[in-house]
Amino acid sequence: MKNTKREKKFSNKTIERLALYYEILITLPFKKKYISSEEIGNLAGVSPSTVRQDFLYFNEIEGKAKIGYEVTKLKEALRNIFKLNSKTHVVIVGAGSLGQAIAGYDSFKKSKVVFDSFFDNNPNKIGRLFKGIFVRDIKYLKDYLKENRRIKIVVICVPPKEAQSIVNLVVDSGIKIIWNFSPTILKVPSDILVEYEHIGVSFYRLLFKRKTIKKEIK
Amino acid sequence: MKNTKREKKFSNKTIERLALYYEILITLPFKKKYISSEEIGNLAGVSPSTVRQDFLYFNEIEGKAKIGYEVTKLKEALRNIFKLNSKTHVVIVGAGSLGQAIAGYDSFKKSKVVFDSFFDNNPNKIGRLFKGIFVRDIKYLKDYLKENRRIKIVVICVPPKEAQSIVNLVVDSGIKIIWNFSPTILKVPSDILVEYEHIGVSFYRLLFKRKTIKKEIK
DNA sequence: TAGATTGTTAATCGATTAACAATC
DNA sequence: TAGATTGTTAATCGATTAACAATC
């Protein structure tokens, strides 16, 4: 059994790995009832020790010696940790292919993320449906966010040159959380949470690793 | 001046930050000739010490005391480190919105990444152009990769259930580098480099941070 | 010149790994 | 029961930060 007092600060890396463990668990075959820290580690590419250390921070995660962790319980615990069981309302600015890709992303279908609306400035897109989501005129974005307080997160999928002015507007309307896919650094007040998704960075990392691989082969 | 002998192993984090520095540099105003480690650090959200430590691994990066780093030189050095100056041929499997988003991603327009072709199994898409790139029938993927040896990287943008079978086929045809956007863990031989882009993981991290923010406010 | 910023070493901090008693 | 795996502490490893002489 776990100690009850346990409020150490966990690192960003722990959070990232927990999300990864969750993605692994949801792709597991149904018949699998228990999983050990060793198995999780193998699938996630980390040591069993690291898996157990990550779990140590959370009282809701509990395994059984000799047996491992009950898969359904572990999944549920992770869903709670990430609050995936409560609805999250989101708006996407930019109804291009990137915005559509996010709205249609597979993992979200298993969560309670609700995409309320697209916003775009392209007259050919305004009024249409993409992935079943209505596209509104971007000039109504500020009013919409002010009137629909359930919306907590805004996703930025516009070209980098337009990103900052839209973010200013979004911040003005009271939104505190921004998920930014536009490859540019945003200036925001310190109480705003911005999570960057740098697709380019991930590709550069790939190119770099390629170089080192080639050296190893020679 | 830098010491010439310098072959310490740099971490994954260093590579990631270097890519981030590069993205920052390309969004800088033209008139800016020099930049200090402090300024870079502020923009990237790391300490000046970390910036200088990262640069320390690379002899091609050199600054001037009191002045800082020459922006154009620094950009060029980073382009060399990531081999962005030589062409990289890439094929995208899955011509859905995600695949299209990658093909149209802004940062790549400044690099020499060439998207040769989409592959898809949807008859309505085969033969069409998306973002100026031709969509071929997925049944010709293996032959295409074997005949066009210039293609070094395959991007996976298909639903998770189809991902593994396509990856098997790609590996069979001799490809060594895979960039996977499908939210599933892939099984590949040990000599294959797979870079995962978990969009979902990034969103979960955001949800988690939101929770801790709320606590701080209360 | 004087002082700001680099390049680099040393000190600190944090994260990962190892080890092992508890236990199912 | 015996042995495999957890929960947890301690040891190790690596990454970040601090400090400062060199220098432009």
- Please give the pLDDT value at position A4: 52
In the predicted model, is pLDDT for residue B114 greater than 70? yes
**Distance in angstroms (rounded) separating the CA atoms of residues B165 and A81:** 33
A173 and A132, same domain (yes or no): yes
Whether residue A149 is contained in a domain is answered as yes
B51 and B120, same domain (yes or no): no
Q: Give the mutation candidate from A60, A89, A106 for the B interface (greatest B CB count, under 10 A).
A: A106
B76 and B100, same domain (yes or no): no
Which of B81, B114, B132 is the C-terminal boundary of a domain? B81
Q: What share of chain A is helix, strand, coil (3-state, %, to 5)?
A: 45, 20, 35
**Residue B136, CA distances (Å) to A38, B47, B95, B127 in order:** 42, 47, 10, 6
- CATH of residue A33's domain is 1.10.10.10
B124 and B68, same domain (yes or no): no
Whether residue B209 is contained in a domain is answered as no
Whether residue B45 is contained in a domain is answered as yes
A194 and A100, same domain (yes or no): yes
Whether residue B208 is contained in a domain is answered as no
At A99, list the tokens.
Answer: 């915005």
Whether residue B6 is contained in a domain is answered as no
Residue of A nearest to B15 (CA): A205
Distance from CA of B37 to the nearest CA of A (A): 17
**Chain segment A64-78, per-residue pLDDT in tens:** 999 999 999 999 999
A48 and A145, same domain (yes or no): no
- Please give the pLDDT value at position A5: 43
B105 and B37, same domain (yes or no): no
Q: E-strand spans in B46-192?
A: 69-70, 88-93, 113-120, 129-130, 133-137, 151-156, 177-180
Whether residue A77 is contained in a domain is answered as yes
- CATH of residue A142's domain is 3.40.50.720
Q: Read off the pLDDT band of A107 (50, 70, 90).
A: confident
For chain B, say whether A24 makes contact (Cβ under 8 Å).
yes
Distance (Å) from CA A163 to C1' D11? 48
- What number of residues does chain B have? 218
Which of A66, A81, A96 is the C-terminal boundary of a domain? A81
At A175, list the tokens.
Answer: 């939104």
Which of A81, A110, A128 is the C-terminal boundary of a domain? A81
- Please give the pLDDT value at position A19: 93
Q: Is A83 left (phi over 0), alpha (psi -120 to 50) or beta?
A: left
In the predicted model, is pLDDT for residue A6 greater than 90? no
A33 and A104, same domain (yes or no): no
For chain B, the maximum distance between any two Cα atoms, rounded to a whole number of angstroms, is 62
Q: What share of chain B is helix, strand, coil (3-state, %, to 5)?
A: 45, 20, 35
- Name which residue leads in pLDDT, B1 or B37: B37
- Judge whether residue B48 contacts strand C, using its CB and a 7 Å cut-off: yes
- Please give the pLDDT value at position A217: 46
- Please give the pLDDT value at position A215: 53
Give the 3-state secondary structure of A145-202: HHHCCCEEEEEECCCHHHHHHHHHHHHHCCCCEEEECCCCCCCCCCCCEEEECCHHHH
In the predicted model, is pLDDT for residue B168 greater than 60? yes
- Please give the pLDDT value at position B5: 43
Q: Which helix (H) or strand (E) holds A91?
A: strand A88-93
B152 and B189, same domain (yes or no): yes
| Nearest nucleotide over every DNA/RNA strand to the A66 CA, judged by C1' | D5
Identify the CA nearest to B54 among candidates B72, B31, B78.
Answer: B78
- Please give the pLDDT value at position A51: 98
- Please give the pLDDT value at position A149: 97
A71 and A136, same domain (yes or no): no
- Please give the pLDDT value at position B218: 37
Q: Is B131 left (phi over 0), alpha (psi -120 to 50) or beta?
A: left
- Please give the pLDDT value at position B185: 82
**Residue A61, CA distances (Å) to A16, A47, A53, A64, A122 in order:** 16, 18, 11, 10, 47
B48 and B115, same domain (yes or no): no
How many domains does the structure of chain B reveal?
2
Residues of the domain holding B100: 88-201
B127 and B56, same domain (yes or no): no
Whether residue B142 is contained in a domain is answered as yes
- Cα distance between the two ends of chain B: 52
- Judge whether residue A47 contacts strand C, using its CB and a 7 Å cut-off: yes
Contacts of B12 in chain A (CB under 8 A): 205
CB contact under 8 A, B15 and A208: yes
For chain A, say whether B108 makes contact (Cβ under 8 Å).
yes
Average pLDDT over residues B56-74: 95
Whether residue B51 is contained in a domain is answered as yes
